[in-house]
Amino acid sequence: MGDCQVASAGTGYLQLQGKNWAHCLQSSLAFLRQSWSGDWVGLPYVLTACANFLKLKADAMPQPCVAMLAAAHDVALHTEREGGRSPGSDEPAYHNRLHFSDALTAMTLQLAIESERWNLQHREWHAAMLLMSVAHDFQHPGKVNSHLQELESRSFAALQPFLQRHAVPAVWQQRIEEGILRTDFSMAKENHRRVNGLAFSWCSDWAAVLLNESDVMASADPRYGPPLGQALAQEWERIAFPAHRHVATAQGRVHFLQSIAFSSYSSHVLGAPDKVQLQLAPSQGPAGSP
């Protein structure tokens, strides 16, 4: 990756050694959990480290990049100051600052990998994807959708004043809205279908897929996924959502792994599909069994 290799020397966060992208992801997720359990570094720190890793420097970027990164920073700062709480509720057990940081981390590595693999550098899309990652669950109330894109629409509505304050161009506001709305988990299958057989490019369809993949990248990992499932069960138990009884069970884990998909080149480099298949293998039994 050349000049995109170290975001925060000495921390173990986003330190790419050679081309070992998967190890970079693992060590970064481990760093976040160590920090979360003790002296939390804060969402603004994570966002800044991600922008630095992608070499998004304000003094050398087009205005849309500057505006979108400024909006993303303000969202991160607001989220941190509020302790991850949405109006009228506590910080959810799963949809919290650790989850936002997980998604940002995976997204950053995926953007770097895709850009290098296809030789498609696009700073505006990089900035937009970081903004969508940090805001896709903005002010999440710890509830579930009662209709399509309900909470995603609320997150974008909460984000709009930040976009307007920093004069994010209308075309990018539209792309950001579409990206956030398409993070509704029920839309993931369709998002992946729309890029099936298509070469990677910077467009809304591939953006939706990267958002879906980075959203569940940590949960797909055998080390970090089960504790995240327990956190989701706690979040759902607070609202008496029936799925809380089984989401963190072995059967619930299998169901989750069977429900996610990884279509991008970067997700394969990070080892996500292989991890899923290895975890599903015991539940599928010997070859030829029903």
The per-residue pLDDT for range 37-84, each reduced to its tens digit, is 999 999 999 999 999 999 998 777 899 999 999 999 999 999 999 999
Nearest CA to 210 out of 255, 173, 180 is that of 180
Q: Check if the beta carbon of residue 93 is closer than 8 Å to that of residue 197.
A: no
Structure tokens at 36: 């979360």
Whole-number Å distance between alpha carbons of 123 and 112:
11
At the topology level, CATH places domain 6-218 in Catalytic domain of cyclic nucleotide phosphodiesterase 4b2b (1.10.1300)
In the predicted model, is pLDDT for residue 103 greater than 90? Answer: yes
Domain ranges of the chain: 6-218
CB-based contacts of 31, cutoff 8 Å, min separation 6:
11, 12, 13
Whole-number Å distance between alpha carbons of 84 and 230:
19
In the predicted model, is pLDDT for residue 160 greater than 50? Answer: yes
Using CB atoms within 10 Å of the CB of residue 286, give its burial: 0 to 12 exposed, 13 to 18 middle, 19+ buried: exposed
In the predicted model, is pLDDT for residue 218 greater than 70? Answer: yes
Q: What's the pLDDT at 289?
A: 38
